Amino acid sequence: MAVTAAPSTPRAYYAPSHAAAAPLSERILLTVLFVTVFASSIAFIEPSPHDALMGLLAVACVVAGVRFDRTLLVPLLLLLIWNIAGLSSLTRVLEYDKTLQYAATSVYLAIAALLFACLFSSNTMSRLTVMRVAYVSTACFAAILGAVGYFNMFPGAAEMFAKIGRANGAFKDPNVFGPFLIWPALYTLDRLLVRRIALADLLVAGIILFGLLLSFSRGAWFHFGVSAMVMIALALLTAPDQKTRIRIVTLTAIAVAAFAALLVVLLSIDSIGGMFKERAQLIQSYDVGSGGRFRLQEIALSSVLSFPNGMGPFEFARVYGLQQHNVYLQAFLVYGWVGAMAYFLLLITTILVGLRCAFVRTPWQPYLITALATFIGEVAEGFVIDTDHWRHFFLLLGMVWGLAAATFREARQPQIIRPAGWAGGPLR
């Protein structure tokens, strides 16, 4: 790719082609980043391989001289308050199993989010490209494992990759497996809608969306629907011209029609149709009754008022038998009122800063739009499930803040080396 130099002191160019000329420490960092993200689909054990590799990634960041941008002071402060509040509530339940591990996981995930934010705030496109290739590849791998398990393609496959009759890949729970697939699906769909239709992207999108379907996770389906609508809305609002907007609307209509037709075909398969009919019901048996999800959420709401400092990890489930399956009630019950307020502010500020920067034309604009759309969908899904320990949630959090920091830095330093012929639009 040809490069045109800026007349002033050159800044680092944010393109993948620049990676070949990067210092050895940066190339090592990119390699470790790829392996770390690729390993994120293997989550049936704890600590997972991804967790171990995060330590190696942190070391690689130090060696490569990754810096902390001042924009990241906001998530740093809110994550710090969230965790301090959680550690405070921990003192009530230290004698119970896994409570310390729960608190340690919260601290670790907060650090992971900040690490990803620092990574993507500089040398942005080269690092994003590596992350994207790793995430899309591992999402395809996970979706294929889920399909292998769902159709029991070899003896024992169902017990490994579809434990409760729903695809879970190498995850413990199909309700985490499904949402994990959404960002790579959205990014691929964004490329198809906005840039060009490529056979490879169609194949990737088909594999990932099929895995999402086979998860039979109502929350993940809802999450995908919300995120897809946000992504399309942002793509329309940020489109550079009327021709692009017409293309997005036209291809979206065609995609919805094609997806509906394909879904009809898939539902004609007995093993898929029967499960879909069961899972598509709005209210399940475990949602209602004295021990149902809705009743537990009512009890949790009253417990929030009774425990301003929180009950501590797992304490609500120990007392009432089951989790309340609502991350916002979980924020109050585990982290107390102060921790919950910090968590809510973290979500709100992430969405606001993401929306502000999504309308700025940068090479990483498509990444920011799809990450923000996925994050908003996950925030919405939090009303029916606990998402506070989902690793990909913190990757998205770090991505939004890191790209916001990169956007603010570019606004402060307008001179940048661009690809020859670059006209100001996003490089998709």
Per-residue pLDDT at 428 exceeds 80 = no
Q: Taking 70 as the threshold, does the pLDDT of residue 10 lie above it? A: no
Q: Taking 90 as the threshold, does the pLDDT of residue 141 lie above it? A: yes
Residue 291 has pLDDT above 80, yes or no: no
* Residues facing residue 4 across a β-bridge: 418
Per the listing, tokens 């998709």 go with 428
pTM here?
Answer: 0.90
Q: Which residues of 133-172 are buried (b: 16+ CB within 10 A; e: fewer)?
A: ebbbbbbbbbbbbbbbbbbeeeeebbebbbbeebbbbbbe
| pLDDT for residue 282 | 63
- How remote is the C-alpha of 237 from its chain's centroid? 22
- With cut-offs at 50, 70 and 90, classify the pLDDT of residue 423: very low
For 152, residues 6+ apart whose C-beta sits below 8 A from its C-beta are 158, 162
Higher-confidence residue of 53 and 6: namely: 53
Give the C-alpha separation, 371 to 373, whole Å: 5
DSSP code at position 419: E
Confidence band of 5 (pLDDT split at 50, 70, 90): very low
Q: Are 92 and 102 in contact (CB under 8 A)?
A: no
The radius of gyration of the chain from alpha carbons, rounded to an integer in Å, stands at 22
Distance CA 180, CA 385 (A): 14
Give the DSSP H/E element, type plus range, for residue 385: none
Please give the pLDDT value at position 284: 61
Over residues 400-413, the mean pLDDT reads 93
Choose the weakest-confidence range: 22-26, 188-192, 267-271.
Answer: 267-271
Confidence of residue 304 (pLDDT cuts 50, 70, 90): confident
Q: What is the pLDDT of residue 3?
A: 34
Residues 235, 193: Cα–Cα separation, whole Å = 9
Q: Is the pLDDT of residue 161 over 80?
A: yes
What contacts 250, CB < 8 A, 6 or more positions away? none
What would the two tokens of residue 267 be?
């539902």
Stretch 254-273: mean pLDDT, rounded?
A: 90
Of 161-170, 286-295, 320-329, the one with minimum mean pLDDT is: 286-295
**Cβ neighbours for 73, distance < 8 A, ≥ 6 positions apart:** none
The residue among 324 and 341 whose pLDDT is bigger is 341
CA dist list (Å): 181 to 93, 202, 215, 220: 35, 15, 10, 9
The predicted structure's pLDDT at residue 329: 92
The answer on pLDDT for 226 being more than 50 is yes
Confidence of residue 280 (pLDDT cuts 50, 70, 90): confident
Q: How far apart are the first and last CA of the chain?
A: 15
**Span of 22-36, 217-231, 287-301 with lowest mean pLDDT:** 287-301
pLDDT at residue number 298: 81
Indicate the pLDDT class of residue 17, thresholds 50, 70 and 90: very low
Residue 76 has pLDDT above 90, yes or no: yes
Q: Are 54 and 384 in contact (CB under 8 A)?
A: no
pLDDT greater at residue 1 or residue 267? 267
